[in-house]
Amino acid sequence: MPSKRPASTPRRAAAVTVAAALLVPLAACGDDGGGSGKEGGDVQLTVLAASSLTDVFATAEKAYEKEHPGTDITVSAAGSQELAAQVEQGSPADVLVTADTTTMDGLAAETGDPRVIARNRLVIATREGNPDEVGTLKDLADPELRVVLADDTVPVGRYAKQVLDRQKIAVRPVSKEANVRSVLSKVELGEADAGIVYRTDAATAPGKVDAVEIPDAQNAVASYPAATLKGSRNADAAAAFVKWLGGPEAQKILRDGGFQKP
């Protein structure tokens, strides 16, 4: 004998209606599959940038967001070798900007076609007032001078090694740092008498360090390539940002920050 289905009651019908109503906003808050990473259809971009771009990209970030409402940019700055490790480990990001082409070329399988957006040069950063009277690269060989350099695995460290080796200058640093900002910090804090940094980094510490110019004939030119990351969930937005970095507004920001033309 077939079982009888319980009759629907007003209370039961009301409960079903309330449950269905609650599901509607929950579904609306779910991932729409578009990879926006943010409610309302806005786009979030994570930009991995070399440490020497920290200050100038803070300005670029604000300018881009103002020009492109709905795009939220997060800049993660670190040594280029650290950024490369993050990319290789699959950390979610959309754009990569390194301080050398060597690091970028090593990630060719993970990136789109890179474009150089700026260039830079090295200077010797000394304590304020240059009390040790450092005037040339040769002065860094003084055993009584506390010199700090970036590690050879870091672009600025490789550039520094390159210029010192070319001049046959042997320097024994008191430490080797993970990025250019750490080198600058050591000099600022008086933990080192001098260090080799990018010209743009020395310019961020007026009144704290002095910058001794290195002649162009002895210097190295640092190139900054930018590229989209193939793992980006916002490929079109990432490509648009890389293109913008090569445009007039971003280039002015980079020039104002002391970077040279690509």
Q: Would the pLDDT of 1 be above 80?
A: no
The DSSP 8-state label assigned to residue 110 in this structure reads T
pLDDT per residue as tens digits for the range 155-180 = 999 999 999 999 999 999 999 999 99
Q: Where are the domains of the chain?
A: 39-119+222-256, 121-221
- State the DSSP H helix or E strand holding residue 78, giving kind and residue range, or none if neither: strand 71-78
Q: What is the CATH number of domain 39-119+222-256?
A: 3.40.190.10
Query: Contact at 8 Å (CB) between 156 and 164?
Result: no
- Asked: is 121-221 a CATH 3.40.190.10 domain? The reply is yes
Q: Would the pLDDT of 5 be above 70?
A: no
- Distances in Å between the Cα of 140 and the Cα atoms of 3, 136, 165, 188, 221 are 95, 8, 13, 17, 20
Average pLDDT over residues 111-132: 98
- pLDDT class for 106, splitting at 50, 70, 90? very high
Average pLDDT over residues 206-210: 95
Give the helix ranges, DSSP H, for 30-154. Answer: 54-67, 80-88, 101-105
Q: Can 39-119+222-256 and 121-221 be said to share one CATH topology?
A: yes
pLDDT per residue as tens digits for the range 11-67 = 344 443 333 333 333 333 333 333 434 444 589 999 999 999 999 999 999 999 999
How many Å apart are CA 226 and CA 239, to the nearest integer? Answer: 10
